[in-house]
Amino acid sequence: MRTVYLDHAATTPVHPDVVAAMAPYWSDSAGNASSMHEPGRIARHAVDDARDTIARALGATPSEVVFTSGGTEGINAAIKGAAIAAMARGRHVVTTAIEHHAVLHACGWLANLGFETTIVPVDRNGMVDPHDVRRAIRPDTVLVSVMFANNEVGTIQPIAEVAAFTRHAGVPLHVDAVQAAGTLPIDVHSMGIDLMTISAHKFQGPKGVGVLTIRNGTPWLPMQSGGAQESNRRAGTENVPGIVGLATALRLAVAHRDEANLHLSRLRDSAIERILSAVPHARLTGHPTQRLANNASFAFQGVEGESILLSLDMAGIAASSGSACTSGATEPSHVVAALGLPDDWVRGTLRLSFGAANDLGDVEAVATVLPSAVARLRALAPRRRDAGSAAPPITGAVEGNPATVKPAHG
């Protein structure tokens, strides 16, 4: 049985052209990019070329591109490095309720140094109001971190508007663009982004390699000590095959972005329409229009997301109940909870994220299996279901003043 893979927000298969571009750097040209000899110079040349390609794709200068081991490292380096560099000026950071755990936990870790974090809420579509960010900024704020696009519900944030406020306040802005890179147009300079994180495995590049862009002049301290690689900003031998793979994948993704997004949004819209019409007590999560082209995410009342995933898995369909990093845990997703859905909806989440190799047959497969799977699971646990009611009004939507919290560590 062929697996229908609908979990591209978790990770993507590596593009064959990327595999080919990386191949020489595992063996024939496997020099250390810091070595003086010929193999070292070949590796250095490949890293420099990759840096130029990436800078062009992201609207940065090559000197602003720092290679990392992926999204989690880039985010930790950005948040801790910018906050600690400015801590003599203040110990307050601002972020949002729907960030990836890498962001929320990095901000939480800063509490060890006496930092406070203000968590700005989102509306019922998972959208941040830039004015809420503006209101959260205080005289002692040293960093704002807002994601470009959400990994669970796909909502795309108004980053340029947020950046206009952070610029005006003179506070650096970090953007987690892990789900946006390769899919949405990005220009860090014209958008006013000071620090930005991307990760290759989300756009058909290899796992374990990413980029942190640091705008020249941004106060920032490296958190990793060691050699002088990456102009003293990220110690450690460069992952040359990974860096070449990232640059190739990003170049391909940007070159084919429009046609890819058209294909993906057709699959997404078909899935949304078919599932909402076939499954009772179901709703779309995330913004109806400002959403990633490949993301169709849902909440189903009175059913556990994990049980839906297992049913789909048995039918050969790989999906997610939210972010891959939390799907092993029994707690409902903090992202879906932040949308203000009642508890018996928050637990029943499903994320379908499409990729280049998917087609309408894959939408057909999930739209065929899902309605009976949800009905069967609801029949097994009838007390969790309020069968007679339509989707309830959303209560407790988080609006108004952002809460100031000191999050728990790590």
Mark residues 44-73: x for contact with ligand PLP by CB under 6 A, - for none. --------------------------xxx-
Residue that has been written with the tokens 């400002």 in this structure = 290
Specify the residue, 72 or 301, whose C-beta has the smaller distance to ligand PLP.
Answer: 72
Q: Which residues belong to the active site?
A: 325
Q: Does 251 bind ligand PLP (CB under 6 A)?
A: no
Contact between 100 and ligand PLP per CB under 6 A: yes
Q: Which is nearer to ligand PLP, 7 or 362 (CB)?
A: 7
Among 199, 239, 295, 327, binds ligand PLP (CB under 6 A): 199
Angle at 289 between CA 287 and CA 291, to 5 degrees: 60
Tokens of 97: 């309720």
What SS3 state is found at 271? helix
151 binds ligand PLP (CB under 6 A): yes
Residue 146 binds ligand PLP, judged by CB under 6 A: no
Alpha-carbon distance 397 to 374, whole Å?
Answer: 26
d(CA 382, CA 385): 5
Binding window for ligand PLP (CB under 6 A); candidates: 87-95, 106-114, 132-140, 171-179: 171-179
Tokens of 137: 């900024």
| Residue among 116, 123, 176, 238 that touches ligand PLP (CB under 6 A) | 176
Q: How many residues does the chain have?
A: 410
* Least distance in angstroms from the C-beta of 286 to ligand PLP: 13
CA angle 130, 136, 140 (to 5 degrees): 130
Burial of 312 (0-12, 13-18, 19+ CB in 10 A): buried
Please answer whether residues 363 and 277 qualify as being in contact, where contact means their C-beta atoms are separated by less than 8 angstroms.
no
Q: Which residue is nearest to ligand PLP (CB)?
A: 71
The yes or no reply on residue 210 touching ligand PLP (CB under 6 A) is yes
Instruction: Between 246 and 363, name the residue whose CB sits nearer to ligand PLP.
Output: 246
**Residue with smaller CB distance to ligand PLP, 147 or 260:** 147
> Whole-number minimum distance, CB 374 to ligand PLP, in Å?
26
* Member of 179, 204, 297, 349 binding ligand PLP (CB under 6 A): 179
The DSSP string of 222-291 is: -S--SS-HHHHTS-S---HHHHHHHHHHHHHHHHTHHHHHHHHHHHHHHHHHHHHHHSSSEEE-S-SSSB
Which of 77, 97, 178, 367 contacts ligand PLP by CB under 6 A? 178
User: Three-state SS string across 313-338, please?
Assistant: HHCCEECECCCCCCCCCCCCCHHHHH
User: Interface with ligand PLP by CB under 6 A: which residues?
Assistant: 70-72, 75, 100, 102, 147, 151, 176, 178-179, 199, 210, 323-324
